[in-house]
Structure 1
Amino acid sequence: MEMTHVWNLNHPLTKKRRTTQTTDPLAYWDDQWQSLGFLQAANFSPYFREIGLYRYKINGKVKFVGSTVDWLKGGLRRSLSEDCQRFLFAMTFARGLIFLIDFSQIEVEILIPGTYPHAIDTTESLTQKYLKRDKPLWNRLLY
């Protein structure tokens, strides 16, 4: 990863403090993901009316990236709950392929980039960037 150096002119102690900044647009956001544990036992209730991204991982590999900006209809809680139901049916026969998925192995992570309505553009932009970078298998099979 390429690193560039910039001057932080707003630093309170010095007008010329040198800081390091990456050129990877997702570097900051990669550290902001919160784990909810495994899908089978995850509690989505606290995320009612929250907008943001979510992803499913198995053995550390991203399998699905999704997002929601519709906070009035339940936000992340609704999207995560609906995906659980959809995966139970759709993943069995996705495009003619049979999947054997152990739902106790799917780890759920969420990323909340801000509050409604300010984070809508950020959420949509990050979703596209993560889909492009990670190329999750389930996104390609289901959509």
Structure 2
Amino acid sequence: MSLMDMLGKLAKKAIAEAPNLMAKAAAEAAKRQAEMKKRSPSISNSFDQMQGEKKYGGFTLDQWDKRWIRLGNLEDLTIENLKPYNKSIGLYKATENGTVKYIGRAIEYNNGGFRKRLRDYVRPSDSGRKHQSGQRMNSNAENLVISILIVGNSVAQVETVKELEKTMIQRYGNVSEIWNVQRN
């Protein structure tokens, strides 16, 4: 058998085996990527962003949007209802007749979390109503349904909350008459 015949046989074999080798390589790459995500979330987020899907604290915007917890009407939320969320931080969403009117953030994990932020709108003191959106929240409290999105309970998640707030306002601001004025 000549050298050319041997090279021809090897080439045919390589071409026949190529799809299997490619599939094995892809499976190995996926396995390594999953291991990398477990070990280093920040590197993982960068990789996912390069793939075109931005993540916030490990979740895409669509994944976060499915995690809202409905609490009820703003005027009916008592300190006792909100007590489980005293140290939780994240976003809250006010809807009226199914339309998003306001998206805000609760980032004071050491000062009452969601409880403090949501009670600011309905308590006797007007500290949470110095701006127009706060006044609207207060005057429409009986019609506003509040949902929360828990992001965490420490300073480590504050930046994620801020990023999510901005992005959610952009998402819902395009489809509703949203009261948010400040978009940062």
Superposition TM-score tier, normalisation by shorter sequence:
0.5 to 0.7
Gaps of 5+ in 2: 1-25, 36-51, 55-59
Q: Among residues 31, 49, 68, which one is paired with 1:33 in the alignment?
A: 68
Gaps of 5+ in 1: 1-5, 12-21
C-alpha distance 89-73 of structure 1, shift in aligned 2 (>3 A): closer
TM-score (norm 1): 0.68
| Map of 1:17 onto structure 2 | none
Indicate the SS of the match to 2:120.
helix
| Map of 1:75 onto structure 2 | 113
Percent of aligned pairs sharing the same letter: 27
Which of the pair has the greater relative contact order for Cα pairs under 8 Å at 6+ separation? 1
Write the mapping of 1:35-114 to structure 2, written as runs, cut at 5 A: 35-42=70-77, 43-85=81-123, 94=132, 102-114=140-152
Q: Among residues 131, 137, 143, which one is paired with 2:169 in the alignment?
A: 131
TM-score (norm 2): 0.54
Indicate the SS of the match to 1:44.
helix
Structure with bigger strand share is 1
Q: CA deviation at 1:74?
A: 1.3
Q: CA deviation at 1:45?
A: 2.2
Q: CA deviation at 1:89?
A: 6.4
Q: CA deviation at 1:102?
A: 4.8
* Maintained 8 Å contact 2:93/2:146: yes
Moved over 4 A (4+): 88-91
C-alpha distance 37-72 of structure 1, shift in aligned 2 (>3 A): same
